[in-house]
Amino acid sequence: MSDDRIKALSQYRVERSEAMLLSAKRDFSAADYSSANNRAYYCLFHAMRAALALDGIDFKKHAAVIAHFRQDYLKTDRIPHSFSRLIATASLIRNRSDYEDFYACSIEDTEKLISGAEEFLRAIKAYLSNQA
C-alpha cells in the first residue's frame, strides 16, 4: 500500500473514532448508557487502528488489536502507558454492556469512560500529526 493510501486509511479511522465519540456523548445525554459505553469503546478501538494503520498492521479480532497496540505503543511510550487501564476497562465494560443480561455500568463510570476516550483520541491525533 502506498504512503498516501496508508495516511488516508489512518485519517479515515480517526474520523470514525471522532464519530463514535460524538455518538457516545449523544447517547449519554439521552440516558442510553449501555450504548454510550459501546460507542466510547469503539472510539478507542478505531483510534488504536488509526495508529496501527501507519505500521501497515491490522487484525480481525479486537483482542489482537489491543494486544499489539499495547506492545508497540503503550509499552514503548509512543502513546502514554497510562491509557492501558482505560483500554482494559473500556473493553470489559463494552463486553459486559453488550452481552450480559442485567449489567448496568454506573453513570459515573460511563462519564469517565467517555472522558477517557476523548483524552485518548486527542493523544492519538497528536501522535499522528507528528508522524506526518
pLDDT digits (tens, 9 = 90+) for 79-118: 999 999 999 999 999 999 889 999 989 999 999 999 999 9
From residue 113, give the alpha-carbon distance in Å to each of 1, 7, 11, 28, 131.
34, 28, 23, 11, 27
CATH code matching the domain that covers 3-131, chosen among 1.10.10.10, 2.40.50.140, 1.20.120.1200, 1.20.120.330: 1.20.120.330
CB 40 within 8 A of CB 90: yes
Q: Which cell numbers hold the place of 116?
A: 477517557
Q: What is the mean pLDDT of residues 10-20?
A: 98
Q: What is the mean pLDDT of residues 2-31?
A: 96
Domain locations along the chain: 3-131
